Amino acid sequence: MANGTIAFDTLSTSGQISGTAKSVDTDYLASGSVKAFSTVDTSSSNSVLSSLNIASISDVGTGVITSNFTSAFSNGDYYELAIADASLGDYSLGNTVDTYSTTTSARSYNVRRDNGSTVDEKKAGILILGDLA
C-alpha cells in the first residue's frame, strides 16, 4: 500500500441530514477545536471516564490530577477550561478548579471546595485548546 498526501482547504458534505451543503474551513479544524480533553473519576477508582489525546492521568494527591497528553503541544501557551461536578460536597454550584503546572506534555489541576480544601470528585474534567507540536 502506498502512502500519499491529501491536501484541501475546505471539507464539505452533501448535507444529507438537512438537505443543504455544509462545509468547514480546515484552518478552523487546525486552530479552533479542542485538542485534548479528559473526564476523570478520582473519588474511588482514579479512572479516565472519557478522553481525547490523553495517554494517562496521575492522581497527584487529594483533588490534584495531572493529565498526560498522547501528542504534545507546540508550547505551554495553550488554553484550558476545567470543571468538576459537585457530587461529594455540601455546596450547590460546584467546585472551583485551578490549573497549574503547564508543560507541553501534561497539565495539572486541582478541585477545591468553596472553603479552599481540595477534594476528590466523581467527575472532573479539562478541555484544552492550542497548537499541537
Region for 19 from its dihedrals, namely left if φ exceeds 0, alpha if ψ lies in -120 to 50, beta otherwise: left
Query: Is residue 94 scored above 50 in pLDDT?
Result: no
Per-residue pLDDT band at 58 (split at 50, 70, 90): confident
Distance of CA 113 to the CA centre of its chain: 21
Report which DSSP code applies to 73. Answer: B
Domains of the chain (ranges; CATH) run: 34-129 (2.60.40)
Q: Is-above-0.85 flag for pTM?
A: no
Q: Percentage of the chain with pLDDT > 90?
A: 15
